[in-house]
């Protein structure tokens, strides 16, 4: 065990976060996301018993967001015509502001299949048990300055 590391962060995830460099991407995926097929060139870490917000909160305690790009946080956009509500996006925005130090202007929505394509280039995909729909978030790692 280590001091100062959120308990939800496994040794495997801690190692991956340390390995990631500036500009690498991390996807925290909901339970419906095709993590294994999209992530066949990525490291896939299973965290089925947890939801995306609690993992996002813990990750942003350790990993800075990229300040050298306009949008360092990406969400999967709803399919046109889908009327499902996405209150989890507000939760994500609160966490990004509180832990990542960035406001909503740094968050973009990406069309579903574009999100899948971008996720194929991620260094790591965390597969969660999140049941909220459209609860996929991609983070671009920034520079550690302290």
Catalytic residue among 66, 106, 123, 134: 66
| Cα–Cα distance for residue pair 10/20, rounded to 1 Å | 16
Token representation of residue 37:
């097929």
- CB within 8 Å of 88: residues ≥ 6 apart: 52, 53, 130, 132, 134, 135
Sole residue written with tokens 């065990």? 1
Stretch (H or E) spanning 100: helix 88-100
> What six digits make up the tokens of 135?
């609860």
Active site residue 116: yes
Task: Reply yes or no on whether 106 is catalytic.
Answer: no
For 56-92, the DSSP string reads HHHHHHH-PBPSSSS--EEEEPPPTT-----THHHHH
Name the active-site residue from 22, 68, 90, 103.
Answer: 22
Is 22 a residue of the active site? yes
Q: Annotated active-site positions, please?
A: 22, 66, 116
């Amino acid at each position: 065990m280590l001091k100062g590391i959120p308990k939800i962060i496994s040794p495997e995830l801690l190692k991956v976060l340390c390995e990631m460099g500036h500009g690498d991407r991390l996807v925290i995926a909901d339970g419906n996301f095709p993590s294994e097929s999209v992530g066949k060139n990525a490291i896939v870490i299973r965290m089925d018993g947890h939801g995306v917000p609690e993992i996002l909160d813990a990750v942003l305690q350790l990993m800075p967001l990229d300040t050298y790009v306009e949008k360092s946080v990406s969400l999967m956009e709803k399919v046109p015509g889908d009327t499902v509500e996405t209150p989890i996006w507000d939760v994500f925005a609160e966490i990004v502001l509180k832990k990542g130090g960035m406001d909503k202007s740094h968050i973009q929505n990406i069309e579903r299949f574009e999100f899948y394509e971008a996720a194929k280039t991620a260094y790591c995909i965390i597969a969660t048990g999140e049941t909220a729909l459209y609860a996929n978030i991609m983070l671009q790692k920034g520079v550690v300055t302290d």
